[in-house]
Every structure is written in structure tokens, then in C-alpha cells.
Amino acid sequence: MRILYLEDDPSNLALIERVAQMHQDELVTVLNPHDALEVLRNEPIDLFITDIHLGYEEMDGLDFTAYLRENGLEIPIIAITAYDYEDYRRRSKEVGTDYHIVKPVAINDLVDLIDQFR
């Protein structure tokens, strides 16, 4: 499986990297929506994981998800955040994410979640 992970803080990559290694998945990581869009346009991706709070004033992970869905992206999208806000959960559902998770995430729970999309 090819997983694209949009995360602006490289220190947060370790958990997803570990899960990808456990299943010999290929993990492509990007730091911003522009780079994510380039990957999605040019490479086959099976699962997209996006952090919600990206640190960009013009677009967060949910805005980007809405843009992708409006433009026909149909692959599964998981939104991940360190902030357990009801507004994020609501918006996540509205924009079309397939799953919304809050950090910290237990590795077994993340493996089970990603396995649902295999």
C-alpha cells in the first residue's frame, strides 16, 4: 500500500513510519498541501493521511481535504490531530474524511484503522 502523509512537523512522522514499516507499506511524506497535490497528481496513492493543523493560514488539512473531494479524489482520507475539538470532528465529517483520529494514537489502533483500507 502507498500511503501519503501530509504533516508539517517532521517530529510527528515516527508513528506513521513505524506502522508503514510493519506492513512493508511505502510511505510518502510531504510538509505542505502544494507538495501533497503534486504527489496525488503524479503518483498512485492508496491512502491519504493529513494532519489537521498544518500551520498555514490559508489552508488546514480539512480545507485541503474539502478541495480534494470537490475535485474528485476518491481514495480514503484519514484526518489526524492533536486537538480533540468537536468542531474538528464535525468539519472532518462534512468535508469527506473517512476517519478522524486524535493523537496520541496507540500503534495497534492505528494498524487496525489502516488495515480497514487494505
Query: Which CATH number is 47's domain given?
Result: 3.40.50.2300
pLDDT tens, residue by residue, 25-54 = 999 999 999 999 999 999 999 999 999 998
Report the distance separating Cα 28 and Cα 26, nearest Å: 7
**Higher confidence at residue 9 or residue 38?**
38
Question: In 3-state terms, what secondary structure has residue 112?
Answer: helix
**Length of the chain measured in residues:** 118
Q: What is the mean pLDDT of residues 65-88?
A: 95
Number of domains present in the structure of the chain: 1
Question: Does residue 80 surpass a pLDDT of 90?
Answer: yes
DSSP string, 38-81: HHHHHS--SEEEEES--S-SS--HHHHHHHHHHTT--S-EEEEE
Range of the domain at 37: 2-115
Q: What DSSP state is assigned to residue 11?
A: G
Q: Are 28 and 4 in contact (CB under 8 A)?
A: yes
* Cα–Cα nearest to 28, from 5, 51, 1, 54: 5
Whole-prediction pTM: 0.94
Other Cβ atoms less than 10 A from the Cβ of 31: the count is 15
Calculate the alpha carbon distances from 17 to 5, 37, 72, 86, 99 in Å.
10, 20, 27, 28, 19
